[in-house]
Amino acid sequence: MLVVEECMTAQSTTPERKVRKRDADATRGRILAAAKTEFAKLGLAGARVDEIAERAGSNKRMIYHYFGGKEALFCAVLEEVYLDIRNAERALELDALPPRDAMERLVRFTWDYYLANPEFITLVNSANLHKGKHLEGADRLKLRQREFVDMVQRILDRGVESGVFRAGIDPIQLNITIAAIGYYYLTNRHTGGILFQRDYMGDAALEARLAFNIDTILRLISSED
């Protein structure tokens, strides 16, 4: 009710105020993690700011304090998950491997990463539903992306030089294809499982799909059969 009950009892009234030890970075981090989970599960429109606050063990006010609003929080989540995957790819150090091994390792890694981080896929889908506008300001990410394409280009060049790959393959098209064959299978795992009516996410099915993907990519780039 709107009954005004102030003025009196100025001090010492508020009985059960839970106060957390202060740690700005930790709170910010918990909010970001909770937002990642929530946005991944329900999308931007479906996610609830109250729910994110509660999951974070914080409150709504802090979300607005640290991030400015729901959409800005979504931007922060998106940039984080994209940087995470690009950093993980970089950590593979594929330049140190023979070209064929490097490529197979990249296909395997991409698949494993999607499988271990399903939020990434749904978050990217949500970003694209909103025409990518939440990613437009992420300049650091664009740089990382370019570095990644360059790395794939180097692998291709080494493979052509050593005769195992054919020449003229566009690293971006290859990149997109490597991502596509894993991403599609996993992003559509629910509708796929229903429509194809066969084991879709069991160990055997996942193993078979990965093998098919590796085969697809190697046949695409190999210089001979």
Partner DNA sequence: CTTAAGTAACTAACTGGTGCGTTACTTAAC
Partner DNA sequence: GTTAAGTAACGCACCAGTTAGTTACTTAAG
Residues near DNA (CB under 7 A) = 1-2, 7, 10-11, 13-14, 17-24, 26-27, 47-50, 58-62, 64-65, 69-71
Distance CA 47, CA 50 (A): 9
220 binds its own copies (CB under 8 A): yes
Q: Is 87 left (phi over 0), alpha (psi -120 to 50) or beta?
A: alpha
Give the nearer residue to its own copies in terms of CB position, either 62 or 193: 193
In total, the chain counts a number of residues equal to 225
- The C-alpha atoms of residue 65 and residue 62 are separated, in whole angstroms, by 5
With beta carbons less than 8 A apart as the criterion, state whether 93 and 62 touch: no
Q: Which stretch binds its own copies (CB under 8 A): 23-31, 58-66, 98-106, 124-132?
A: 124-132
CB of 125 to DNA, least distance (A): 18
The answer to whether 146 contacts its own copies (rule: CB under 8 A) is yes
Asked if 44 interacts with its own copies (CB under 8 A), we say yes
Q: Are 70 and 82 in contact (CB under 8 A)?
A: no
Give the residue among 88, 98, 67 at the shortest CA–CA distance from 144.
Answer: 88
Using CB under 8 A as the criterion, which residues of the chain lie in contact with its own copies when the complex forms?
42-46, 82, 122, 124-129, 131-133, 135-136, 138, 141-142, 145-146, 149, 170, 172-173, 176-177, 179-181, 183-185, 187-198, 208-209, 212, 215-216, 219-220, 224-225
